[in-house]
Structure 1
């Protein structure tokens, strides 16, 4: 289904799309990644830089959204050492046990969701969402994300670490006119209980690497 939206026209012909995400029970959901894939164009994607730190034996942020080709550093701000790794097809890697900041960042060249863990502290899990589109944002504590989009047709995708199944998708048309916020309701799995012991991380459902034509 294609939804025609009238949106506020901003600077340089861009429109502002506001997206509210909740947990299916009207409770705002933070750390959801909202992306828009252009269906009629191939906009350039600019690589950037990201940081996934380690505080109190947790990854901070727990969800990091980046453009494809971006580099990410993994500083360890704890007073103990961590061994950061991933088995995800989009970016398998293993950083040997370390404290402080590794000498070289990692480049993420494939779209998808990279599940990050620590071989020493198995409850530490983070997610790096690598997107092949310049249009994406992460929801704040109020469950809100804002995308700046040129007019055109898009596929809107919403992902969250606890999402049951594939990202929620909706096609829409961005035009000019009055602002029309969107609301996305997600069906979530229960939060995982604290765990100890050895386990292998499983890749999360990936965002779409290429737009469907």
Structure 2
């Protein structure tokens, strides 16, 4: 077999792979996340795992502090992500977490700490401020390579996914014991898939704390650590 023939064969195979590879990454999912009464859920996390061999690298992320609130209220990140905690207020904050997934403390500060915080284990992390007790935020850390947080209408959009079958998981700060919920398998093809997912919620959990009660962080933290203490 001549070298010229092998070169032509390789070129043909390369052209074929280039022509089909965009289709292999043409899947997209538009999901609606609702509670048991069919009401849209903001701040819910949807994660996808699969197909085999398809992975994503952890990225950097940001959890801001604005108007004495964590922004966003729910941040989803991949395991291994470093999260910066800038303080955009003109007052100082003292951010901390006692959650088993990630314990850390950023002592009283303004501006942006020089070192971001590494979130290296999957699970839910409840954030508080030692100065403003009503401030509660959540970092949801996942090993799944694809994920998104729902908007105010409970909508999630994931694009440029490999065509294939995915295991779906759902999470929300009001989930029982703040644990993720398996939501079955979703097959994604070349056309956009639309799906509605329902989450079971625990009404007593604080999600968007009001200005005032000092128990907001304590209630959320107690719920986050209940399962770990068993």
Q: TM-score, normalised by structure 1?
A: 0.81
CA contact (8 A) 1:89 1:203 kept: no
Counterparts of 1:186-197 in structure 2 under 5 Å?
A: 186-188=199-201, 189-190=203-204, 192=206, 194=210, 195-196=213-214
Deviations 1:116-151 (A, max 9, x none): 111111111111111112211111122111224323
Deviations 1:144-181 (A, max 9, x none): 11224323332201111112353331222424365441
CA contact (8 A) 1:85 1:95 kept: yes
Specify every segment of 5 or more residues in structure 1 that has no aligned partner in the other structure, as ranges.
Answer: 1-9, 206-213
Report the Cα distance in structure 2 between the residues aligned to 1:175 and 1:104, rounded to whole angstroms. Answer: 39
Counterparts of 1:53-132 in structure 2 under 5 Å?
A: 53-132=64-143
1:162 aligns with 2:174: yes
SS in structure 1 at match of 2:176: coil
Go from structure 1 to structure 2 and tell me whether the alpha carbon gap of 1:80 and 1:177 turns closer, same or farther (over 3 Å shift). closer
Q: Which residue of structure 2 aligns with residue 45 of structure 1?
A: 56
- Select between 48-57 and 183-192 the one with higher mean Cα deviation: 183-192
Point out which structure has higher relative CO (alpha carbons under 8 A, 6+ apart). Answer: 1
Q: Which has the larger radius of gyration?
A: 2
Higher helix share: 2
CA contact (8 A) 2:47 2:146 kept: yes
Q: Which residue of structure 2 aligns with residue 21 of structure 1?
A: 33
Q: Which residue of structure 2 aligns with residue 171 of structure 1?
A: 184
> Aligned-pair RMSD on alpha carbons?
2.5
Deviations 1:65-93 (A, max 9, x none): 11111111111111221110111122110
Go from structure 1 to structure 2 and tell me whether the alpha carbon gap of 1:138 and 1:175 turns closer, same or farther (over 3 Å shift). closer
CA contact (8 A) 1:67 1:134 kept: yes
Deviations 1:173-197 (A, max 9, x none): 4243654411112233146364126
Per the TM alignment, residue 35 of structure 1 is displaced from its structure 2 partner at its CA by: 0.3
1:34 to 38, 43, 46: 46
